[in-house]
């Protein structure tokens, strides 16, 4: 009996030691997550206050603590300026001991921020940026690019249109890293499938008057005018195209269309447009349940960026728990070894290059006659397997 009691005491002591060691592995006794986004500019609806809410939902669903320590959120407006975003993240790391940063919408800002995070061995949970640079030329062992990228958008939207005989393309492109990357990747898809790019113009971020760009597109002789922009820029460009009659004579392809953009457009203008997305609120019971919660907090349906930020944050916290520490190298190793699986991440895995590969979806915007309510926007036409959508990993970015 004494031997059994001693064994139980020893086991209890071991459990206490293990628990203490595990709890002590959390730096500064708190796991702190920074949410960086556009809180009032052209991308605010895509990943601004809504991304803060999505991250907070993940923290609450996780239980508010990990390994016995509290989880805290901080947030900031990067104003779509790389210097503002990188300065804020540097301050977060140096003064507030932030462990990871999510949100991250404008690719130019994300490029500056990921350099700061990598230099400090902190994980970037990239929830809303489109450029594929973060898993190619600017890849890092600390990048987790979650929701979508320009490769998936081009493969999902452009290739089927070229295959259907739409061979001549003209681009109206956002004049910064995201737009350049989207135009470049889409052009390669067009040309490799027998099409040609007959022209392109670049419009500064936040342009409100697209008339001169639309006139150039009209005179190009293109079959398709591709809008390589997003948010308010996409809305303004498409509205101007309709006003000038371009949509009556040419196809218009929105290469990055969020639900908020579709909501802001008259279905007589946007109805029938094809697009590619990583998430839609009305796909099944799981997406509808989460989206209803989000809408009750935010006042509107979620974008794929909101869903992606929730999913990335939840996978990060689960990985901290399993790894027994918030040390970035151990957490990232766990994130890559365990598969994300939630209402957003379908058939998903985080590759060694930091690309979160998952199912993408070809959608069509519903016409007015097809809609059963204000939020009834898209029809799912095809599911694109992740490896087909995102393409292969570069050997030089294989961070094993």
CB contact at 8 A, 36 and 109? yes
CA dihedral 224, 228, 230, 234 (to 10 degrees): -40
Q: DSSP string of 307-358?
A: HHHHHHHHHHHHHHHHHTS--HHHHHHHHHHS---SSS-SS-EE-TTSBEE-
pLDDT at site 42 = 87
Domain positions in the chain are 30-148+283-358, 151-277+361-389
CA–CA separation, 325 and 21 (whole Å) = 9
CA–CA separation, 391 and 186 (whole Å) = 13
pLDDT at site 10 = 39
pLDDT at site 3 = 42
Instruction: List the structure tokens of 37.
Output: 């986004």
pLDDT at site 126 = 98
SS3 101: strand
CA–CA separation, 119 and 34 (whole Å) = 17
Q: What is the CATH number of domain 30-148+283-358?
A: 3.40.50.2300
pLDDT at site 35 = 98
Examine domains 30-148+283-358 and 151-277+361-389 and report if their fold is the same: yes
> What homologous superfamily is domain 151-277+361-389 in, according to CATH?
Response regulator (3.40.50.2300)
Q: What angle (nearest 5°) sits at the alpha carbon of residue 85, between those of residues 179 and 238?
A: 30
Q: How far is CA 352 from the centre of its chain?
A: 18
Beta partners for residue 277, in sequence order: 361
pLDDT at site 400 = 81
- Please identify every stretch of the chain with a pLDDT value under 50, giving residue numbers as ranges: 1-24
Distances in Å between the Cα of 172 and the Cα atoms of 80, 179, 210, 224, 225 are 20, 9, 9, 11, 7
């Amino acid at each position: 009996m004494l031997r059994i009691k001693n064994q139980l005491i020893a086991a209890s002591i071991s459990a206490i030691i293990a628990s203490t060691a595990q709890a002590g592995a959390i730096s500064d006794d708190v796991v702190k997550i920074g949410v960086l986004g556009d809180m009032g500019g052209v991308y605010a609806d895509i990943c601004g206050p809504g991304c803060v809410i999505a991250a907070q939902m993940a923290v609450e669903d996780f239980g508010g603590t990990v390994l016995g320590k509290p989880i805290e959120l901080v947030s900031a407006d990067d104003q779509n300026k790389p210097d503002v975003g990188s300065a804020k993240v540097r301050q977060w790391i140096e003064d507030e001991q932030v462990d990871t940063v999510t949100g991250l919408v404008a690719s130019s800002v994300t490029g500056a921020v990921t350099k700061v995070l990598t230099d400090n061995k902190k994980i970037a949970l990239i929830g809303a940026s489109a450029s594929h640079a973060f898993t190619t030329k600017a890849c890092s062992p600390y990048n987790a690019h979650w929701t979508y990228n320009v490769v998936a958008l081009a493969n999902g939207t452009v290739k089927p249109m070229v295959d259907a005989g739409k061979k001549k393309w003209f681009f109206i492109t956002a004049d910064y890293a995201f737009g350049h990357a989207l135009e470049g990747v889409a052009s390669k898809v067009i040309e490799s499938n027998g099409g040609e790019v007959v022209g392109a113009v670049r419009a500064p971020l936040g342009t409100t008057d697209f008339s001169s760009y639309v006139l150039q597109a009209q005179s190009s002789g293109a079959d398709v005018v591709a809008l390589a922009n997003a948010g308010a820029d996409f809305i303004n460009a498409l509205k101007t195209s309709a006003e000038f009659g371009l949509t009556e004579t040419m196809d218009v392809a929105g290469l990055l269309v969020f639900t908020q953009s579709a909501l802001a457009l008259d279905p007589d203008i946007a109805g029938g447009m094809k697009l590619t997305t990583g998430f839609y609120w009305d796909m099944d019971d799981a997406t509808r349940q989460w989206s209803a919660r989000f809408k009750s907090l935010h006042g509107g349906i979620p974008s794929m960026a909101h869903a992606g930020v929730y999913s990335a944050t939840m996978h990060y916290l689960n990985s901290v728990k399993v790894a027994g520490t918030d040390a970035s190298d151990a957490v990232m190793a766990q994130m890559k070894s365990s598969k994300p699986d939630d209402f957003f991440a379908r058939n998903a895995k985080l590759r060694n290059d930091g690309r979160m590969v998952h199912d993408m979806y070809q959608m069509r915007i519903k016409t007015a006659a097809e809609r059963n309510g204000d939020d009834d926007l898209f029809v799912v036409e095809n599911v694109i397997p992740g490896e087909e959508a995102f393409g292969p990993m570069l050997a030089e970015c294989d961070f094993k």
